[in-house]
Structure 1
Amino acid sequence: MANNDKNMKDAKDNQLNEYRNSSQGEKLTTNQGVRVSNTSESLKAGERGPTIMEDFHFREKMTHFDHERIPERVVHARGFGAHGYFQVYESMKDYTKAKFLQDPSVKTPVFVRFSTVVGSRGSADTVRDVRGFATKFYTEDGNFDLVANNMPVFFIQDAIKFPDVVHAIKPEPDNEIPQASAAHDTFWDWVVNNRESAHMIMWLLSDRGIPRSYRMMEGFGVHTFRFVNDQGKAHFIKFHWKPLLGVHSLTWDESQKLAGKNPDYHRQDLWDAINNGEYPEFELGVQIIEEDQEFNFDFDILDPTKIWPEEQVPVKKIGKMTLNRNQDNFFAETEQAAFHMGNIVPGIDFTNDPLLQGRLFSYLDTQLIRLGGPNFHEIPINRSIAPVHNNQRDGFHRTTIDLGKVAYRANGIDNNDPATASGQEGGFEHYQEKVDGVKIRQRSESFKDHYSQAAMFYHSLSDHEKRHFIKAFHFEVGSVKDPKIKQQVVEMFSNVSHELANAIAQSVGVQPPQSTNNEVKPKMTSPAISQAKTNFKAQTRKVGILLTDGFKFNEVQEMMTALRNNDVHVEVISKNLGQAHSDQNEPVEIKQNYSTTHSVMYDALYIPGGKQHIDQLMKHKEAKDFIKDTFAHAKTLGASNEAVNLLSQVLPAHISLAGDQSNNELFNDLGVLTIQQASNLSDFSQTFINELAKHRHWERELKDEKQA
């Protein structure tokens, strides 16, 4: 490999640099480069006269403005992107000849677009939905697009049904309600009449439907692909992205409040993390099956409504992606990015997955109208860093200036250039698979088990995940107006679990399932399905500190130092912005007040001691609400010295001061940390950080239920 290939990480950035434009220090011009003396008044016939059509600057400015919007994506309309690079851990030559998977020293540039699926561009980030996770690898062999979701299965088995599921889940056409939600009649009517969706519904209504952050969610290629090596040997594979921060979620109440308090919560989180140098990292993994093992499982490996359980087919981690640069311009990059499942490179190939086959058409077709024609590959964010040479010409927005006379093959004028490349020269060669069959509109018998893996999913969840899952059904099905559809949902999911079906029926006011012998008993559970088995880290989390004048400065200083030393963010919150002064008159800057923030924007809350400060907080309803929501959302909550009295007032049923705290004794009750008569908070601070790393304290929900 040439030496300059070692610098591939910068290749895309250098290419984009040709198109970057800064107007700082420049004079205003028209689009033709003519300097403009006035852009605030139209050219008129006298001060109060009509606008004159001669005003070419007015016409250019207004015409461009009138045409600035392009059609939004039919699905995945709301997204956010970032740049980065990918490095393979070791050569994958035994499995694939894809060059970007060979040399661990090469950093392949990437652009990633995260998205929601159902909502429009103006919808909220935190709605319950599937999340897109599309990665464009700018490889030396051309662009490879790994179009993934944060759920490993899909609603349908055949792409011909894709328009149906999208029409059903989108807002209902008579009133365009509801936005960005599956909780309505048309969707659930579609579900009960398309039972292959059962497994995907389990994932959608689980905690994975409301991720804590783009940085804390998995990505799955969904489809079955092939790796093909230099010898022409193929393996079936599935792609996985594994976040190093672990897989974590919001609560349903948080997601709803964030949709109002900060609808840009996920994009803001990603933008801030990269700007802070806390670069999101994801390991790329592959599940690999030998071709002769294709039929060794009790599911069809080509069925996109099925997973390959990781306990049966382990995920081999082959490399890591680091997102280290934010976009320069949202429209030019994120909005114009065009991903296509057909963008593959030698060493990666398709299978007969019927959903994959159909989507190969749809992804390309949709870009033609959205981006104005066939030359969207020339938009800077979509340009390959590998040279492009072919005989395709003209069309809207063509920017390449092709030299010479020839735009066809075969030709003699240019000695038949550009020439085709053999496989040895890096030319793409389709995997040679024997295909023999009768043309027929029919699905394989091996695709007809719709409930086994749905049942496996349900029985693989932890107790708290099951509780959340059942509540999600209560909202979704409870929002359906037609009682017949509700009853059909209950009957459908009685095949998955009678416990689940009975819980749905009781909540939404219909009869429990009629049949008692149709429940599918899964042959195994898959611990990898549960988020309870993920990585738990405190790094990059955000802690709020509530205070007013009179707080104990040493307590705040000690806690803030400990948090920052563990790469945890801290924000001080009070009634008013500006400064608060301690009992020793030391100032602390207040970055947020009760109007500009909310407890749902923090992973934990700490309240320091100080009698004057606590007396004031006891008068602030908003401070008490902060504490109540932090507690209700099962987050870590800490109070030292006099602040314990505030918790006792706000949460009297939960905070017990039993025991002797006069000896600086630390109490930890399901993530609620209290300590009194303490002059040193080192142990308290470290315990607080350890509890923060746990993400949530779900046992607290059981305590609430018992007391209710």
Structure 2
Amino acid sequence: LGTVNFHQIPINQAKGCPFQNFQRDGHMQTQVPTGRANYEPNSLAQAGEEGGPRADAKGGFTSFREPVEKEKARLRSETFADHYSQPRMFFASLAAPEQAHLASAIVFELSKVSLEHVRNRVMGNLRNVDEDLAKRVADGLGMALPDKTPAATEPIDLEPSPAVRLIGKYPDSLKGRKVGVLVTDGADGAVVKAVQDAAKAAGAAVEIIAPKRGGAKLKDGSMLKADHQLAGAPSVLFDAVALVLSADGCQQLLTEGAAVDFAKDAFGHLKAIGHTPEAQPLLDKAGVEADAGVVDLSNGADAFIKPAATRQWDREPKVRTLA
């Protein structure tokens, strides 16, 4: 009898007092809410649309004024109207890549908003959080920066808290992560084993990917069993990847979209990529450029472990433009 819509179950419904909240979806939803906004206050009335409920002394909820020695009223501290100090502290606490991703996420979401005045209202609010954040969002949207929204209570600068960030909060580690090793027929089994041993020693799980589910026949004639077929194991499933290919195997993968995407996505998602020299044609076709996170396994598997323990944030300007 739970879910966010528990009050719509007949046994739970209030008698003689219709009750609604701002939930629109979820299990056991029986109502058909209309309108675009499930929150208030909102500004849909400015677009000629129904704006929903409003605080109204005549038709809305007000506290009962009971005469005592003085007038009784429901009041809140002024700090309840400080809507910006904590968001300001949060944004200031983030690492630079996190700030860029947050700004880009806001740009993405506001790009889906059809009403221009709503986009302007959000940017006006952002100016109370961080002026640079608001400018980055406005630039990302290709819009002029609107006036700052008047704050009910002027925000204050709180001490940044590194605890709210993810980047740099913990030491880089492969422990509990997963490394995917793409192997083709004719590959060097010694390199595969070296990657497996180094990754497992660092606390990671290792899974083998091959063009066929049965595995790959290595250079020494032995069979290496595969955990995944390439077509069903994109690099998004792994925290770091290694390409242990033979020259012939690499040539065959050049015409496989799944193989090109495997390398391209790993690079675009800022993951470490270990590779044998024979894999270079595939890296070139996938647009993988050399950097600290693209490691030649000829230099040993240990050189791959350090970049595999984190993301390559310095690579990001090569693969996308952030706000």
Q: TM-score, normalised by structure 2?
A: 0.74
529 and 474 in structure 1: CA distance in 2 versus 1, 3 angstrom threshold = same
Q: Secondary structure at the match of 1:578?
A: coil
By how many angstroms is 1:690 displaced? 1.8
Alignment correspondent of 1:531: 166
What are the residue-to-residue correspondences of 1:588-667 with 2, within 5 Å? Answer: 588-651=224-287, 654-655=289-290
Q: Does 1:484 align with 2:117?
A: yes
Structure 1 unaligned residues grouped into runs of 5+: 1-70, 76-161, 178-184, 194-436, 656-668
Q: Does 1:577 align with 2:189?
A: no
Q: Does 1:699 align with 2:311?
A: no
Aligned equivalents of 2:205, 2:80: Cα separation in 1:
48
Alignment correspondent of 2:88: 455
476 and 444 in structure 1: CA distance in 2 versus 1, 3 angstrom threshold = same
520 and 447 in structure 1: CA distance in 2 versus 1, 3 angstrom threshold = closer
By how many angstroms is 1:622 displaced? 0.7
Aligned equivalents of 2:294, 2:240: Cα separation in 1:
10
Alignment correspondent of 2:73: 440
Q: Between Structure 1 and Structure 2, how many residues are aligned?
A: 276
633 and 72 in structure 1: CA distance in 2 versus 1, 3 angstrom threshold = farther
Alignment correspondent of 2:3: 73
Structure 2 unaligned residues grouped into runs of 5+: 6-19, 44-69
Aligned equivalents of 1:176, 1:517: Cα separation in 2:
31
Q: Is the 8 A contact 1:501 1:513 kept in 2?
A: no
CA deviations 1:97-154 (Å, max 9, x no partner) are xxxxxxxxxxxxxxxxxxxxxxxxxxxxxxxxxxxxxxxxxxxxxxxxxxxxxxxxxx
By how many angstroms is 1:674 displaced? 2.1
Q: Secondary structure at the match of 1:495?
A: helix
Aligned equivalents of 1:186, 1:516: Cα separation in 2:
20
190 and 549 in structure 1: CA distance in 2 versus 1, 3 angstrom threshold = farther
Q: Does 1:473 align with 2:122?
A: no
Q: Which amino acid aligns with 2:197?
A: T
Alignment correspondent of 2:63: none
699 and 473 in structure 1: CA distance in 2 versus 1, 3 angstrom threshold = same
Aligned equivalents of 1:525, 1:560: Cα separation in 2:
40
Q: Which amino acid aligns with 2:160?
A: T
Q: Which amino acid aligns with 1:693?
A: A
Identity %: 29
Alignment correspondent of 1:543: 179
Instruction: Name the one with the larger helix percent.
Output: 2
Aligned equivalents of 1:191, 1:581: Cα separation in 2:
65
By how many angstroms is 1:169 displaced? 11
192 and 505 in structure 1: CA distance in 2 versus 1, 3 angstrom threshold = farther
Q: Secondary structure at the match of 1:642?
A: helix
Alignment correspondent of 2:304: 688
Q: Which amino acid aligns with 2:251?
A: D
By how many angstroms is 1:494 displaced? 1.3
Aligned equivalents of 1:175, 1:611: Cα separation in 2:
60
CA deviations 1:298-321 (Å, max 9, x no partner) are xxxxxxxxxxxxxxxxxxxxxxxx
Q: Does 1:522 align with 2:137?
A: no
517 and 74 in structure 1: CA distance in 2 versus 1, 3 angstrom threshold = closer
By how many angstroms is 1:610 displaced? 2.1
463 and 639 in structure 1: CA distance in 2 versus 1, 3 angstrom threshold = same
CA deviations 1:487-531 (Å, max 9, x no partner) are 211111111122222333343454412249979562432222221
By how many angstroms is 1:640 displaced? 2.0
Aligned equivalents of 2:115, 2:316: Cα separation in 1:
32
Alignment correspondent of 2:197: 561
Q: Secondary structure at the match of 2:301?
A: helix
Q: Is the 8 A contact 1:555 1:609 kept in 2?
A: no
CA deviations 1:257-282 (Å, max 9, x no partner) are xxxxxxxxxxxxxxxxxxxxxxxxxx
Q: Is the 8 A contact 1:545 1:571 kept in 2?
A: yes
Aligned equivalents of 1:190, 1:472: Cα separation in 2:
23
439 and 633 in structure 1: CA distance in 2 versus 1, 3 angstrom threshold = farther
**RMSD, aligned CA:** 3.3
Q: Secondary structure at the match of 1:595?
A: helix
By how many angstroms is 1:699 displaced? 1.4
Alignment correspondent of 2:145: 512
Q: Is the 8 A contact 2:183 2:243 kept in 1?
A: yes
Q: Secondary structure at the match of 2:129?
A: coil
Alignment correspondent of 2:53: none
Q: Is the 8 A contact 2:293 2:307 kept in 1?
A: yes
What are the residue-to-residue correspondences of 1:205-604 with 2, within 5 Å? Answer: 440-508=73-141, 510-515=143-148, 522-535=157-170, 536-604=172-240
Q: Secondary structure at the match of 2:37?
A: helix
Q: Is the 8 A contact 2:273 2:294 kept in 1?
A: yes
Instruction: Name the one with the larger strand percent.
Output: 1
By how many angstroms is 1:72 displaced? 5.9
Q: Secondary structure at the match of 2:75?
A: coil
Aligned equivalents of 1:645, 1:72: Cα separation in 2:
56
Q: Is the 8 A contact 2:183 2:210 kept in 1?
A: yes
Q: Secondary structure at the match of 2:215?
A: strand
Q: Which amino acid aligns with 2:4?
A: V
By how many angstroms is 1:474 displaced? 1.6
Q: Does 1:673 align with 2:295?
A: yes
Aligned equivalents of 2:206, 2:92: Cα separation in 1:
38
By how many angstroms is 1:624 displaced? 0.8
Aligned equivalents of 1:528, 1:607: Cα separation in 2:
36
Q: TM-score, normalised by structure 1?
A: 0.36
By how many angstroms is 1:605 displaced? 0.7
By how many angstroms is 1:573 displaced? 1.4
By how many angstroms is 1:626 displaced? 0.6
Aligned equivalents of 2:103, 2:287: Cα separation in 1:
27
